[in-house]
Structure 1
Amino acid sequence: MKIGILTSWFVPNYGAFMQAYALQKVISGLRPDDDVLQIAYINKVHYDVYYSLFYAPHRFWLINPRFYKDLCRRLLNWSKREQLKVFLDYFARIPHTKTLNDKSICEEKFDIVVLGSDIIWDYSQQSFGKDEFVFGNHMQVGKVVAYAPSFGTVKADRVPPAYVVDGLQKMGAIAVRDENSARLVKQYTGKDALVVLDPTLLMDANDEKFVKPDIEDYIVVYGSSFTTELINGARAYADSHNLKLVCLDSLDDTFDWCDVNISQERLSPFAWCGYFKHAKAIFTCTYHGLLFGLIFQKRLIFSPTQFILDKASSLIDYLDLRQVLVEMTDFADKADWDWDYSRINAKFAVMREKSMEYLKESLKVNG
């Protein structure tokens, strides 16, 4: 049987890579005799956001000043944009189909297609290019199921495009990553959607060969949006505990308040994970920064933004971590909180069992 996984392919982000890698590994483990392949497709608009010099999402772009400002920025950062293409090689190491476009993806045949995970269903994002395929439309497939996609920033008052509702209605099984996405599925279709774990939380991180960094006694800094209070607190906490602040480049991040800045060309997905695994604490504002802090059972100093809370709130509330992750504002208070991972891991174990059972059942084909 041929099983395809359609997710954030070629997106130059370590979290996006690791969730694709993890879901591939989990499904391959469940179905060792089947041909499990990532669908090597990314919407052209979405691809151009990261890799192209010419990107024109703006209305009447030829006379729109925003287009020319963006073009100048891309020219100035062209070397950085070229460096991102190393992610094309990282993704290519995951078993995948041939590279597909809007035409050839309609011709590729599958027995099952799994949609997810990540915020592939956020149809409000102009940069995603109104991608109808991520809802399972126009594909030659016997059964379409969803595992842990998210609607991201989409709110209940937004009217969905017809292709969103049509795709959801035709799916054989739907499981999403957060409560907001489950509510939207119910609102659009009347169907109940199970809330499951991000696939990175299903893999056994102890089995992976993550690269140990050549630095010790440090706090990982990962993300772009940190409050001044938390930045000052990070610097004071690191100094008082003889720790280094090590910034892992996310969006061309270079912080003068960090002791070490690691650029993306000096990282790989498994080296990135290695920094998380061996850190004393994690200071982040990103979704997968939060997840990998939890995976490696670290002290977490989370700087919440609404964009990330739209995706992470239901997991934060399920783990009873809203006080420390969202409400508390002092760095030292967050870092020195009673991080009882026996309790957190027990909650993960319940969700992990539900998530794996859903995958096993949804991958069955009647007849």
Structure 2
Amino acid sequence: MDVLKVGVLTFHRCINYGSYWQARCLAEGIQALGHHASIIDHDSKRINLAEWKCAMQPVLPTHVPETDHPLYREKIEKFFALFESLPLSKRFDIDKPEDMEKYDVVVVGSDEVWNLYHPWFGRNPIFYGDGLRTQQLVSYAASYGNYPASYGLEESWAERLRNFDSISVRDENSWTIVKNAIGMEPEIVLDPCLQFAINPDERENKYWEKPYIALYGHNFTESFRSKIRQYADSRKLPLVSIGYRNDWADEQWIQADPHDFAQFIARSEAVATNFFHGCVFAIRNEKPFVCESSSYRSFKVQGLMSKLGGEQHLISDEIPSAVVNNLLSQPLSPVISQTIDRLRISSNKYLDEALKIKQLKNESVA
């Protein structure tokens, strides 16, 4: 097998635990296949300012108290330090892709790379392949985020999709958008955080010393808060909120970094979340969990649960507390792990074949 120079194009500098790990996992996963892989280090002052502003006020419309500002700032600074540990390319201006390095293959994904609604990355043509210095263009676990399939895709974006040599997505909504736009049925693959190894730095922490329930997300409904609070009290377990303030939790660990997060979920007794990667990390670590689907993340979490056979873990106001208690106290169904094992095989096959397209083309030319 020829060793290829592969660039991963994604949202790798977001102040978000899932974004950090999906970028790292995809690059390192491609490296494990025997290729030279790096994350394409695009930069933009406009995007950076928008990202940092959001990271300082992450729970809007809920007010962020001034006492939390130093904690969120500390969290951001920890992310900045970890970004430099990623396998990064030479940095370039996102609006000047001609300044980027050349690659044999560029892999676009995972994350919401095709989300036309994203507040600062949306409608940037680089994520659809424009101007990329590569011989081959593929996607892995690309998503349209909260952009609904019912809206369709403008022809200008559909035409860009036709330039991809191989396309895979991570949810049904994105599958439908691609299918309706260009008439092909893309592969549905696992998110990199489920597909590849995650190796967080081992650290000692006070939270590891006692059992707890992990809370990840923000702006939960009153119904969800009540049920989770009731369960935690009944089990006499502290409810610890990571990454964001939730005043109804017993403890707040706002300033945790991505490696803290990975260990925090892995060591928890159970997980309550309304985030996509809250579900992903709970499933990866075989932790009991429940998820409240928010409007922004509904396509992502519903698609994930449908794909893995875990629909019962998505709860609404109508779900009785007894059901929630059972979900948080019982092991995950073996169907979920069996489905992941099967999807890991097909996802790996997709990526392996996608990275061979260039080689086959060269061999046919020769």
1:26-65 equivalences under 5 Å are: 26-31=29-34, 34-51=35-52
Letter of the aligned partner of 2:225 in structure 1? Answer: I
| Aligned counterpart for 1:314 among listed residues 294, 298, 303 | 303
Cα RMSD for the two superposed structures: 2.7
TM-score of the aligned structures, taking structure 2 as reference length: 0.86
Evaluate the alpha carbon distance shift between residue 49 and residue 78 of structure 1 in structure 2; reply closer, same or farther with a 3 A threshold: farther
The alpha carbon displacement at 1:78 in A equals 6.8
Q: Which residue matches 1:269?
A: 258
Q: Which residue matches 1:125?
A: 118
Matched, 1:254 2:245: yes
Q: Which runs of 5+ in 2 are unaligned?
A: 55-60
Alpha-carbon separation, structure 2, partners of 1:100 and 1:335: 50
Evaluate the alpha carbon distance shift between residue 76 and residue 135 of structure 1 in structure 2; reply closer, same or farther with a 3 A threshold: farther
Q: Which string of whole-angstrom CA distances, capped at 9 and with x for unpartnered residues, describes residues 276-322 of structure 1?
A: 01100001000000110111111102111132221122221233322
Q: Which residue matches 1:358?
A: 350
Q: Which residue matches 1:16?
A: 19
Letter of the aligned partner of 1:325 in structure 2? Answer: L
Cα pair 2:239 2:250 within 8 Å, conserved: yes
Matched, 1:229 2:223: yes
Letter of the aligned partner of 2:222 in structure 1? Answer: T
Alpha-carbon separation, structure 2, partners of 1:273 and 1:159: 36
Letter of the aligned partner of 1:217 in structure 2? Answer: P
Evaluate the alpha carbon distance shift between residue 10 and residue 21 of structure 1 in structure 2; reply closer, same or farther with a 3 A threshold: same
SS at 1:359 equivalent: helix
Q: Which residue matches 1:101?
A: 93
The alpha carbon displacement at 1:113 in A equals 0.2
Matched, 1:329 2:301: no
Cα pair 1:136 1:167 within 8 Å, conserved: yes
Evaluate the alpha carbon distance shift between residue 122 and residue 45 of structure 1 in structure 2; reply closer, same or farther with a 3 A threshold: farther
Letter of the aligned partner of 1:333 in structure 2? Answer: V
SS at 1:140 equivalent: coil
SS at 1:154 equivalent: coil
Q: Which residue matches 1:87?
A: 79
Alpha-carbon separation, structure 2, partners of 1:244 and 1:307: 28
Percent identity of the aligned residues? 26
TM-score of the aligned structures, taking structure 1 as reference length: 0.86
Cα pair 2:92 2:99 within 8 Å, conserved: no
Letter of the aligned partner of 1:126 in structure 2? Answer: P
Alpha-carbon separation, structure 2, partners of 1:77 and 1:49: 19
Q: Which string of whole-angstrom CA distances, capped at 9 and with x for unpartnered residues, describes residues 119-176 of structure 1?
A: 1110122322521111111111100000001011112343534552232110000000
Alpha-carbon separation, structure 2, partners of 1:334 and 1:280: 14
